[in-house]
Amino acid sequence: MKRMLTVLVVIPFMLLLVPARSHAQTDLDAIMMNKYQFCNGFMYNYASWDHYWEGTFKRDNKNMGTVSTQSVMYMANYGITDRLNIMAGAPYVWTKASAGTLHSMKGVQDLSLFVKWKPVTWTFGKNKISLFTIGGFSTPLADYVIDFLPMSIGLGSTNITARGMVDYKHKRFTATGSAAYVWRSNVKLDRDSYYDTELHLTDEIKMPNVANYQLRTGYRGRYLIAEALLTNMTTLGGFDITKNNMPFPSNRMNATTVGVNLKYTVKQLANLDVYAGGNYTIAGRNAGQATAYNAGLFYAFYFCKKPKS
């Protein structure tokens, strides 16, 4: 039953928690690739929970034990200019329940594409403020089963994301805040009727849209980046899991997590970034209380001649 965390939190997390700085930036941070710079690599994510919120009621479920979601995501970023980057990623996801009889699920999940634009930067003394807008698109790469939560690997919707972000930098100290609106398409079930708060004689589900917020702050050095993160995802609508019911794709899935990000660029191999991070869900609704870890390795280089400047 409750894989919410999986998709709701874990998958966004795979997108969110990717490293920073010159390589391997994400749609959630203030790092830009330079013009013609290409970075790509893999991120591994492990998230698990043994308690979850059924609506607002926190419980465990011995028929699932600990539910885990793992993924390996390929990610690539490219600097069209110093101020305009594009990013793409796609994960392979697999789930497992440690107890009970529910079968695990696995497969390729969603392709995501982002465009990040930094139109404005103000500098005053040792302070710098930059504004960003980010547009995103994601869609399933395969017809995976969405109606087997929490074992399903995804929710199956095609999403369009619009995000605004402000980044403040004082010497090596940084603080970044952003807010996003995620429009989600309807999804289809393999069955031809379902009950949410009423009976629907259709296989199609109206998916509520989602708001996403993040604050991150910490040290951003030449080789090392260390940040603390506070992230919130709020579903704008949807319904609560009824008592002792299974979760459903259009549940009101919310989660607030705290986490850390570390990224290190190997001095002797400046093309190589090593990334590690973790986060913990401190509040949620229709979501698992997940603890997640991730680690990644990214390689960056210039496609063309490195431009002067």
Partner 1 sequence: MKSLFLYTFIMVAGSLLVTSCSKSIDERTNNAPALAPANMDIDAGSWKPVLLASASEFNVPAPAPTNTPDYVAQVNEIKAWQKDLTGEEKSLVNYWSAGAVLRWNEILRELVAKYNLPPYQNPDGTYPIPNASNPLAYPQFPFANPPYAARAYAYFSAAQYDALVAAWYYKKLYNRPAPYKVDANLNVLIPKSDLPSYPSEDAVIAGVATEMLKLLFPGEQDFIQQKADEHKRSRIIAGANVRSDLEAGEALGKLVAQKFVARARTDRAGAAVGTAAVWDQMEKDCIAKGEGYWISQEVPKRPPMLPLFGKVRTFLFDSLTLVTQIRPGPPPSTSSQKFKEETEEVLYYSEHPTRERMRIIHFWADGVSTVTPPGHWNSIAAEDFIKENLSEVRWARNFALLNMAMMDAAIVCWDAKFTYYNPRPSQVDPRIKTLTGLPNFPSYVSGHSTFSAAAATILGHILPSRATDYAQMAEEAKMSRLYGAIHFRSDCEVGYTCGQKVGDFAIQRAKADGAE
Residues that bind partner 1 (CB under 8 A): 62-63, 80-81, 84, 99-104, 115, 117, 135, 137, 143, 145, 147-148, 160, 183, 185-186, 189-195, 198-202, 204, 206-207, 242-246
Question: Closest separation between CB of residue 268 and partner 1, Å?
Answer: 33
Question: Closest separation between CB of residue 99 and partner 1, Å?
Answer: 7
Question: Closest separation between CB of residue 145 and partner 1, Å?
Answer: 5
Rounded CA-CA distance 13/298 in Å is: 17
DSSP code of residue 155 = -
Q: What is the dihedral of CA 23, 28, 30, 34, to 10 degrees?
A: 40
Task: Please state whether the peptide bond connecting residue 91 to the residue before it is cis, i.e. omega within 30 degrees of 0.
Answer: no
Closer Cβ to partner 1, 239 or 264, answer by number = 239
Question: Closest separation between CB of residue 235 and partner 1, Å?
Answer: 14
Side chain identity, residue 283? A
Closer Cβ to partner 1, 128 or 200, answer by number = 200
Closer Cβ to partner 1, 196 or 221, answer by number = 196
Closer Cβ to partner 1, 90 or 145, answer by number = 145
Side chain identity, residue 237? G
Rounded CA-CA distance 168/176 in Å is: 6
- Sign of the dihedral through C-alpha 92, 182, 2, 193: negative
Question: Closest separation between CB of residue 284 and partner 1, Å?
Answer: 19
Beta-carbon count within 10 A of 138 CB: 24
Closer Cβ to partner 1, 79 or 218, answer by number = 79
- At a CB cut-off of 8 Å and minimum separation 6, what does 177 contact? 165, 166, 213, 214, 215, 216
Q: Which of 212, 205, 264 is nearest to 27 (CA)?
A: 212
| Cβ-contact 264, 12 below 8 angstroms | no
Question: Closest separation between CB of residue 50 and partner 1, Å?
Answer: 13
Rounded CA-CA distance 139/94 in Å is: 18
Question: Closest separation between CB of residue 260 and partner 1, Å?
Answer: 32
Closer Cβ to partner 1, 115 or 215, answer by number = 115
| Cβ-contact 251, 237 below 8 angstroms | no
- At a CB cut-off of 8 Å and minimum separation 6, what does 256 contact? 230, 231, 232, 233, 281, 282, 283, 284
Question: Closest separation between CB of residue 194 and partner 1, Å?
Answer: 7
Closer Cβ to partner 1, 155 or 229, answer by number = 155
Closer Cβ to partner 1, 99 or 269, answer by number = 99
